[in-house]
Amino acid sequence: MENPKYQKLHNYPKTINRKKIFCAAQGEQRFINGHATFNADEEFKVIQVRKGRIRKEDLTYVLMYKNIMLRIDLIGATHHGIPTPHVHIFDDAHDNGRDVISLSDVNNYDPTTDVVGSLASFLRYNNFDLTDVSISPVTA
């Protein structure tokens, strides 16, 4: 994705389609649907991934708009010598996710690995409005 398009989409104020979100249980993943606040046809998807092939405790977040835009690995494998937590940005400026950035180099991001707190951090970083949204650890 071209960098200006990525920046435009990332900066959109976004709304989650539900007011109550349940986190994925360990070993699972959860999809959260949302849209641009000013245009419901501009759809986004967040994926909370709590499973890994080797490390079962992996924790990753993905933001999608048609294709992957951003992936943040909080617990997982080292990529290109950069340990987790780190970020993959899928735009031309970051070689479509191949250039890895340490999460400590990202402004305004809380790198907590708490399942509820980390989901809230990811949503806030990606400009989702969390007003009146509740996040619960797992489906009851």
User: What does the domain layout of the chain look like in residue ranges?
Assistant: 3-130
Task: Extract the tokens encoding 125.
Answer: 């970083």
CA distance 89 to 126: 12
By the 8 A CB rule, do 130 and 122 touch?
Answer: no
Write out the H or E segment, with its range, that includes residue 89: strand 86-89
Q: What is the pLDDT of residues 11-40, one digit of tens each?
A: 999 999 999 999 999 999 999 999 999 999
Task: Extract the tokens encoding 114.
Answer: 């708490």
**How many other CB atoms are there within 10 angstroms of residue 133's CB atom?**
16
Show pLDDT as tens, one digit a residue, over the chain (140 residues). Answer: 999 999 999 999 999 999 999 999 999 999 999 999 999 999 999 999 998 666 668 999 999 999 999 999 999 889 889 999 999 999 999 999 999 999 999 988 999 999 999 999 999 999 999 999 999 998 64
pTM score of the predicted model: 0.93
62, β-bridge pairs: 47, 71
CA distance 57 to 5: 33
